[in-house]
Amino acid sequence: MGTALVTGATSGLGLEFAWQLAQARHNLILVARTSERLREVAEEMRQFAGVQVEVLRADLSQRDELELVAERLRDPNKPVGLLVNNAGFGLGQPFVGGDLAPEEQALDVMVRAVMVASHAAAGAMVRRGRGAILNVSSIAAHTAVGTYAAHKAWVLRFTEVLAVELAGSGVTATALCPGLVHTGFHAAAGIDETQWKESLWLDAERVVSDGLAAVRRGQVICTPSLGYRCGNAVLRLAPRWLVRRMAEDPERSRRQPE
């Protein structure tokens, strides 16, 4: 695959993607907002994995900065073989009564940036007749828990559409749907991790290696771990009223006026 571009590569799953790809001898382009952290990670990867690493500082919620990523993906002289659309964050607030600014930012990062980067990468890859796009969705895509569920449902369905359009082109599209993973995600959103029992948590290393194996197989949807695959099957078979009921916050129902 040559060079891989990973968004959100300074922490959590993105950092793990970068390490596993570097260990598999891919050169890397690391994208995130924090320049210092990008430089540190790049330097470690050059030293310990001996691969070439470019850093591209960009806030993916800003259209002009996102365009820098798209331009890099389109560059015919420096082909990118794998795009990992990984950057994302939790909102940790209800939509009704919550702030609108983070809602808009979430759409920009987890929906618009995925679309723009995929458009740039798919065009360039199809012209070369090879390449792969991996979009990080979530098991939340099948639920009705917060607007995050809607963003990740978009990523999942969009990836399926991409896979259909790309069939026979030599380029593949894969959606990765992890369950809970200990990363910086929950702390950044002010979400208490202790509300879920430890057996529900997945290991970032395993989630990423399953995702990369799915890319190698050209698999369209990958849900790491048997437990989450069973949960996913239940969510898909359950009537939607039950899925909505499961997402209800009993505290909120108690607070509602009669």
Ligand X SMILES: NC(=O)c1ccc[n+]([C@@H]2O[C@H](COP(=O)([O-])OP(=O)(O)OC[C@H]3O[C@@H](n4cnc5c(N)ncnc54)[C@H](OP(=O)(O)O)[C@@H]3O)[C@@H](O)[C@H]2O)c1
Does 181 contact ligand X by CB under 6 A?
Answer: yes
Burial of 69 (0-12, 13-18, 19+ CB in 10 A): buried
State the helix-helix crossing angle for 113-128 and 63-74, rounded to 10 degrees: 10
Instruction: Return the residues of window 43-62 that contact ligand X according to CB under 6 A.
Output: 59-61
Q: How far is the CB of 237 from ligand X (least distance, A)?
A: 21
Distance of CA 253 to the CA centre of its chain: 32
Based on the residue annotation, tell me whether 148 is a catalytic residue of this protein: yes
CB nearer to ligand X: pick between 60 and 156: 60
Strand order in the sheet with 27-32: 53-57, 27-32, 3-7, 82-85, 131-136, 171-176, 221-222
Does 92 contact ligand X by CB under 6 A?
Answer: no
Does 11 contact ligand X by CB under 6 A?
Answer: yes
CB nearer to ligand X: pick between 81 and 178: 178
Does 214 contact ligand X by CB under 6 A?
Answer: no
Does 211 contact ligand X by CB under 6 A?
Answer: no
Determine contact, residues 128/140, Cβ cutoff 8 Å.
no
Number of residues that bind ligand X (CB under 6 A): 29
Which of 33, 74, 130, 206 lies at the binding interface for ligand X (CB under 6 A)? 33
User: For the chain, where are the alpha helices, taking DSSP H only?
Assistant: 12-23, 35-49, 63-74, 100-107, 113-128, 146-166, 185-188, 204-217, 226-237, 240-247, 250-255
Residue 54, token pair as written in the block: 């470019």
Give the x-and-dash track for 113-152 against ligand X (CB under 6 A). -----------------------x-x--------------
Where do contacts with ligand X occur on this chain (CB under 6 A)? Answer: 7-14, 32-34, 37, 59-61, 86-89, 109, 136, 138, 178, 180-181, 183-185, 188
